[in-house]
Amino acid sequence: MAQLINGAALSRTVSRRSFLAGTGGILAAATLAACAPGSGGSSGSAGAKTYRLLLPGDVPAQWDRISAAVNSKLKADLGFEFNPEFINWKNYASQSLLKFTAREDFQTALSARWLNIAQLIESGALQPLDDALESDKYPNLKASVDQSAFDANRWPDGSIYGIPAVNSAARIHHIVARGDLIDKHAPGGIETFDQLEKFWYDVVQKEGIPGYVKSNSVFDVLGAPTGTLYAQGWESPDFLPLYFSSDSLMFVPSRQAAATGSTDAVPFWEYEPYLESLHRIRKYYEDGIINADRLNADPATIKAQFDGGGAATCWGITDGLDTSGHLDQLEKAVPGATLVSLLPFRDGLAAKPNQTFQADNLVVVNAAAADAEAALQLLDWVSIQENHDLLQYGEEGTDWKAVGDDAYEPVGEYTNFPGYALSWRIPLERKFSRMSESEASWFEWSKDYENFTLDPFASFIPDLTEIEKEHAQITAAIAEFGNPLWAGAVDVAEGLDKLKKAVDRAGLAKVQEELNKQADAYLASQ
């Protein structure tokens, strides 16, 4: 074999110049290839345009199969395909904003007041939808979203900038509890906040697990109008705090504002029930009722803790996902476990909590999109029951089967499509077939606008323009001194003192004055 090898060829040396030129050429070619258009994108099947959209969260299991099925139908119906980009929740706000800024070519995204819709509207980055909605081009969309939902989500300039993607009239923060533990420690059931509190203490003492687990949230403590740890909210859910943004300072308006026309909003610490709530959280923190890592724990860790049987209750919202979001995992960890949705209103189902009916989720259309009409066609297309079901629950038979007229039973692995960022429509949503009785009852209740009281400041959206710098600094102070208070991690008197000094220095007086001025003007205009 040795003779077969060409020794002369092997021993031939490559010159330094050839080596450098060759290596450099390869690197240059690789660089050019990397910079070539289309190297980072994806293309649809032959002949069909592909439109991008932004969705929050992780890619659902089996997404490739469902996406192919959706695209096949989309192409046949509308002549184009879609290619959603999933962005992790933790980065969604900043990344979606960056993509708008970079004028990237995507059709739709999720936005809301708690994200950055104010900035996007102010900057003209969103397509106003009034003309489209007044036309007859999108009948399915108009039929599946109540006109009152559109009206409640008009911006102060009178325009509609987003399609409300909600599945109930009002989303009420509440408690998802282990039914098996309630049977054991509160056999008479839980109907009031006092009973709930006693249950938490019993569980901590007798089971050795926390009563309630959640990542940090101001709304847990200072309800709007309810908060899982805010006792007063369950007694009389009759007002909503005012704020420039939900991560900034909360203000409490006068209860007579609507009658007098004078808002007289004061910082939250001047409202006794809120102060009492802060002290209660601190006590819960010290007594081990709530998780001590609220400041650091991410939602996935908290969910895993509850689903693994490591807590008696967790947070829920009336979007019909209490049971479907936890039960399967919980049953694997704790055989025989059950779930109950708790809304311990003093007045039970007769409670009429104040609501703005502003949607938590709005699907907005990118003004820089290549084809805004296609975006609305897609929103109309997902408003058809068959298409909605395919996207939301997967392929019938493979991923789910219908139970009765309005329920579904998952039978495959496809779950967790973020319908709230595209396809949630109240009349089209199906209930989880194993939804607990309590959740079914409260979910139905939350779908009826008549069960709520329209807040006097329902469509008031304050304008930040005059106080941008002060607001930014107050928000920074809340992040530093407010968040530890919501977590119960610091002494209330000491923590509040630091917070007050920081927000005073940041310009509280100016911000408070501006809020009252705008709120008074709003009341006068009603």
Partner 1 sequence: MTTDLGTASENLATADTARRTRDRGSRRTWRGRDYGLVILAAPAVVLLLVFAYGPMAGLVVAFQDFNVADGVFGSPWAGLENFEFFFTSGNAGRIMWNTLFLNVLFLAATLGAGILLALMLNEIRGRVTKRFFQSVIFVPYFVSPIVVSIFLQAFLAGPGGRGGLVNDLLSMFTLPEPSWYTTPGPWPWILTVVKVWQLGGYMSVIFLAAITAIPEEVYEAGVIDGASRAQMALRITTPLLKPTAAILLVLGVGRIFYGDFGTIYAIIGDNGTLFATTDVIDTYVFRALRTFGDFGTTAAIGLFQSVVGFVLVVIATLVQRRYARETSIL
Q: With contact defined as beta carbons under 8 Å apart, do 390 and 148 qualify?
A: no
**Interface with partner 1 in residues 230-259 (CB under 8 A):** 245, 247
Residue 305 backbone phi and psi in degrees, to 5: -65, -45
Q: Does 468 bind partner 1 (CB under 8 A)?
A: yes
Name the residue with tokens 């490591």.
310
Interface mask (CB under 8 A) for partner 1, residues 501-520, using x and -?
-x--xx--------------
Closer residue to partner 1 in complex, CB, 12/17: 17
**How far is it, in rounded angstroms, from Cα 37 to Cα 121?**
31
**How far is it, in rounded angstroms, from Cα 343 to Cα 170?**
14
Q: Does 372 bind partner 1 (CB under 8 A)?
A: no
β-pairing verdict for 407-410 and 400-403: antiparallel
Q: Does 103 bind partner 1 (CB under 8 A)?
A: yes
When binding is defined by CB under 8 A, the residue of 64, 130, 151, 480 that contacts partner 1 is: 480
Task: List the beta bridge partners of residue 230.
Answer: 227
Q: Does 162 bind partner 1 (CB under 8 A)?
A: no
Closer residue to partner 1 in complex, CB, 121/145: 121
Closer residue to partner 1 in complex, CB, 108/423: 108
Closer residue to partner 1 in complex, CB, 284/417: 284
What is the number of other CB atoms lying within 10 angstroms of the CB of residue 416? 14
When binding is defined by CB under 8 A, the residue of 482, 503, 522, 523 that contacts partner 1 is: 482
Give the three-state DSSP class for 362.
strand
Q: Does 125 bind partner 1 (CB under 8 A)?
A: yes
Residue type, 457: F
Closer residue to partner 1 in complex, CB, 119/459: 119
Q: How far is the CB of 497 from partner 1 (least distance, A)?
A: 15
Nearest CA to 185 out of 207, 210, 214, 212 is that of 207
Q: Does 21 bind partner 1 (CB under 8 A)?
A: yes
Q: With contact defined as beta carbons under 8 Å apart, do 448 and 416 qualify?
A: no
When binding is defined by CB under 8 A, the residue of 61, 78, 93, 133 that contacts partner 1 is: 93
Q: With contact defined as beta carbons under 8 Å apart, do 155 and 124 qualify?
A: no
Nearest CA to 66 out of 453, 462, 512, 382 is that of 382
Q: Does 334 bind partner 1 (CB under 8 A)?
A: no
Q: How wide is the angle at C-alpha 191 spanned by C-alphas 188 and 194, nearest 5°?
A: 95
Residue type, 503: V
Part in contact with partner 1 (CB under 8 A); list of ranges 12-20, 130-138, 219-227, 385-393 = 12-20
Task: List the beta bridge partners of residue 56.
Answer: 87
**Interface with partner 1 in residues 276-315 (CB under 8 A):** 288, 291-297, 305, 310-311
Residues that bind partner 1 (CB under 8 A): 16-21, 23-25, 27-28, 30-31, 35, 93-94, 97, 100-101, 103, 116, 119-120, 122-125, 210, 213, 216, 245, 247, 288, 291-297, 305, 310-311, 367-368, 468-469, 471-473, 475-476, 479-484, 489-490, 502, 505-506
